[in-house]
Structure 1
C-alpha cells in the first residue's frame, strides 16, 4: 500500500484499535508513542526496519530506544539525546524527511537508512493524544547514492553538481578541486555564479538559458577564475540529473590548459626556428619528406645558388636541377631515406647559371606543422678544393728533385691530388707506358735515384735516363716530384718481390 498522510485531528473518542488496524498493512513503518514517552505499538514494517520481530525489541520507552539503536546523519555525525526523531516528536515537533542511518547497538553489521517524518494527534482539548513516527526504508536509495558518491568522487574528470532550485553547489569531486585549487568549503553551498563555471564561456547566454530551463548545456570553452587570481581554459558541459527528489545539474570539465601551454611552447619554438633559419649563413632548404617538394629556403641559398624563392617554391629538388644528374639525385634520395639524415656528404651541386659547385651536404628529418620534412644544408667547398690544388701545384713547381722530400710528405701530396682530381681518371696515361717504363716509374715512386734504378734493373744509367725522359713526356710531367705524385695517385709501385732501394 502507498503511504497514508494522517493529517486530521481525530475526536477524543478515536478508537486506538481501529487506528492500528488501518495502519497495520502499510508499507511504511508506523510507531506510536504516548506523551509519557512509552512506545505502545509498531506495525510489522516498522519492526522489520529495526531488525525486530516484536515490539519489546524496540524498547519500552524512548530512553530504551536510544540505548538499543545508534542513529547517525548521512555525514556520519552521531545523534545525541534530544536529537533523535523519536525525541523530537515527543517534544511536539512536526518535521518532514529526516534521513538517518540506524544501527543496532553492538551489531554494526545490521544497519538501515530511514526517512522519517512525524505526526502529532491531539485530543479535543488540543493536547497531544498520540505521537506518531512514520518511517520509510531508504536503504536501497542510500546504497545507490553511496555508489554514485563513490563513482563521482573517484572519477578523474573534474565535476560539480548544483541544485537547480537555488542554483547552489551540493557536490564537488576531487578532480575539480585539484584542477582549480579551490577547497571543498569554498565550493559547497556557493552559487553557480559565485564560483562561476561559465565565466567567459564562448556561448555564455545559451548556457545560462539552458541552466535556468534545467536543459542540457552543450560543450563550450570557458575561462575559470582560480583562487590565485589566474584563469584556466576548460571545456565545460552540463547535464540535468536527479539526486534523490532534487533536480540538479552536473557540470563536467576538460582541462585545456596543458594543450594551451603546449601550443604556446610550440608556437614559440617555431618562431625561434624560423628566425634562426632566416639568419643562418648556411644555405638551407626545407622540403617535404614525401614529395621532396621545396617548402622554403633562406637567403643564404639565394646567395650561393643564385636561385630566388620564386624560382624554387613549389618545385621538387629534382625539378630545380640542383644535382647534375639523375643518378646523383637518386643516390642522395636513397641515402636520405635509408637513415633519415646525412652529415657532410660531398655532392656536386648545380648553380642557376649552370656552374658546378662542390658541396658538403647535411640533412636531418624534422616535423613542421605536423608534416615530416627534411632540413637540407649545403657547405660550398669549391674554393677550398681549388686552394688545395693550387697549393699542390705550387709545391710541384718548385720541385726539381724529389730526393730530399720525405716519404710521408710525398704520400700526403699524392692523397691531396687524388682527393681533388676528377673521378674516373685512375688509369689515365698508364696504358701508354711500356712494361719497362712502368718498372722505372714504380721505382721512381719508391724514391730511388737513376743509379739505384739502373742497379735494380741491370741497366746502364743512360738507358734509365732515356726511359725517364720518355715516360715524363707520356704522362705530361716535368720533374721527378711530379712523376712521384702522379704515380702514387694511381697506385703505381715497384715490381713485387724485389728489395727496395735506398730512400732519401
Structure 2
C-alpha cells in the first residue's frame, strides 16, 4: 500500500498516455512515409521503363549521327561547287553561309558577306525584300521570282530567286538560290524592240498577215487588218470560213481553188482577189502565201501576206498591178529576198535583207558587197557547198547557214535558194530568201542550257533521284545522292528494276506504288522503308511523277532520307514529355506539400511542448507535478528526440524535393539584366566553398580550383541568380563525384569564352566521368547516380530547364570514363535576334 502511494497520480497518468501518444505518432508518421514511398516508387518504375527505351534509341542515334556527318560532307561538296548562288540566312537576315557562286556573283569575299545582312547587301530594294518575307511567312517558300541585284561595282543583274524556310543545325534558317538570267532578259528586250519595229513597219505598209493552222483549222490575223479592212484582228480569229466569207462572190471559187491547190502541192502561191470590208465595200488585195510542212516544233501551216491594192487597180490595173504588188511584197517582206549572180555578186536585194546584213539600205548593200564568199560568209567553203547542192537540186535548196553582218558580227539564217539557167543552159543566177533565225538559235541555246542546268540539278541534288521507264520499270538514270544513299554504283543500277535491286521490303509494297502511279500519274510524300545494298533499312519519303521524254513515259522519282528528321521528331517528342512531366511534378508537389507541412509542424510542436524551459510547459507540468527535466532526460535516453529529429529531417527533405519539383515545373517572374558571367562563376565557387561534411571527409576547399576566365567576355543578358544556381549545382556535383571516387589531385576548372553570338561557360573536372549508358539520362528528372538519400535527381533537370527554357540556351555534357567530365553552358548574347 505504501509502495502504491509512492507513485503520484500525474506520473501514473503520464505513463498511461505516453505509449498511446507515441503509438499514434508512429502510426501517423509511418502512414505519411508510406504514401510518399508509394508515389515515388510508381514514378521510378515509369522512369525505369522509359530509361530502357531511351538507351535503345541512343544507340540508334549514334549510328544516325555518323551517317549524318558523312551526308553533311557530301552536301558541303555539292554546296561549294554548285553553279548557282546558294545562301543560308539566319532569321535576322545575317548570312550564316554562302557558296563560291554567290561570292563570285557579288564580287565579295566570304568574310565581307558574313559580316553583312541581306538588307545591307541588297540596299535600296526594301519593298521587294518585304514582299519576299511576306511570301516566306505565308507559304514557307517561293520559287523563281524575278528580281534585280546591283553589284558593288554598279553592274545590274537579273535573277530568278527562290527561297525556303529550312532547319539547319536545329535552328530555323532561310535557304536561298539564284540563277542569273541577265542575258535572257536582254534578249527579251531585243525581241520586244524588233517586234515594235515590225509592227511599225506593217502599220506604215498597211500589210495584213495571217497564219493558218491546217490540221486544226485555226486562222489568226495580225498587222494592219483594222486599217485595211476595218476588222479587229482578234475578233476575226477563227477557222478558214472567216476568210472565205469575206471573198467577193466572183472571186471566191478561183481564190479557194488556188489556195487548195497550194495546200495540196505544198508550194508558194500568189492570189489576186477582192475582200469585203467592214463597211460593205470591196478591196482589191494581193496575197502572197507559203505552205510550211509539219515539224517537231510546229504543225503544218500556211503563212501569208495580204496587201490592199485597190488604189493601184483603179489607176493602173491592166499594166502595173503585177509589178507593183511584187515590188511592195519584195520591199516590205519580213524576210530577205535576193538575186545573185552565179559567180558571186548581188544583182538585187530587198531592204529587209540589207538591214538584216547591217547595211543602211539596198543601195549600200549592192555597192559594198563585191564578193559573197568573203563579204557575206564567214567561211568561203560555205557558199561553195551551197552551189554544189544547187547544181544537184537546182529547183531549190534549204539550209541553216551562218552569215556575217557588215560589222563582222555573226548571225544565223535559213536560206531558200533556187538556181536559174540562161538560154544556153549554163547557171546564171540564184533566187531565194533569207530568214533571220538568230532568235530561234538563241532559244535553242537557252533550251540546251536549260537541259544542262537540269542535268546539274539532277546530278547535284541532295535528294536521291531516279529516272525509270513506266512500262518496263527499268532504271534509266540515277544521281550521285542515290548512289550515296543506297550504296550501289551507278553501273550496278542502270537497266535494273527496283525489285532486282531489293530496294523494297516486299513486292506488295512495290505493286501498290505502281498502282498509284497508274491511277494518278503522280505520288506526293509517300513514306516507306527501303533497303540499302548492305541490307540496312532506310526510312524514305517518295515523290514521283510520270513525264514524257522523247515519246516515252518515264517516272521521275525523288527519295528523301527521313532518318535525321525522325530523330529530330523523337527529340521533340521527348521534349514534350519532359514538359508534361513538369506538369505532373507540379501536381504531385502540391498534393504532397499539405501532409508534409502537417508532419513538420506537428514535430516542431511536440518538441516545443517538451521543452523544459518554456513557460507554458512549466505551468502545465506543475499542475500535474511533472518534472520536465527528468522527462527530457528520459526521452533523450530513449532516443525519442532523435526519432523526432529524424521525422523532422525527413519532412524537410521531402519539402526540399517538393520545392525543387515546383521550381522545375513553374515559371516564376524573373528579370533579365546584363550580368558579368565571370563574377557569377566566382560567386558560385565562393558559395560552394562553404560546403563540407565531416562524416564523409568532404570539404570543397580542398579541391584545386582553376579559373580560366575570358577578360573580354561582354555582359550577358540573363537572370543572374538562376545562372548562379546552375553553376553552383554543377560545381558541387563535380566536387562530390571526385570525392566519392577518391580522385587523386582533384581539380575543378571553370572556363568562360565568347563563341560568335554565344557566351560559353565550361565546368570541367578530372573525376571518374559519367558512364556512357547514363550520359543520355543525366538531365531527366529524378535520375541520379548518387546513393539513396544523397541526391534528389532534380538538380541537373532543373538546371537544364533554366538554361534551355528560361534563357533559350544550351546545356550539354561530354565525358571520358576514368578521366573526367565537362558540362558546357551556352547563353545567347542577343536573345531577341
The bucket for the TM-score relative to the shorter chain is 0.3 to 0.5
> Could you say which structure has the larger radius of gyration?
1
TM-score (norm 1): 0.43
Flag the structure with higher helix content.
2
Q: Which structure has more RCO (C-alpha within 8 Å, separation ≥ 6)?
A: 1
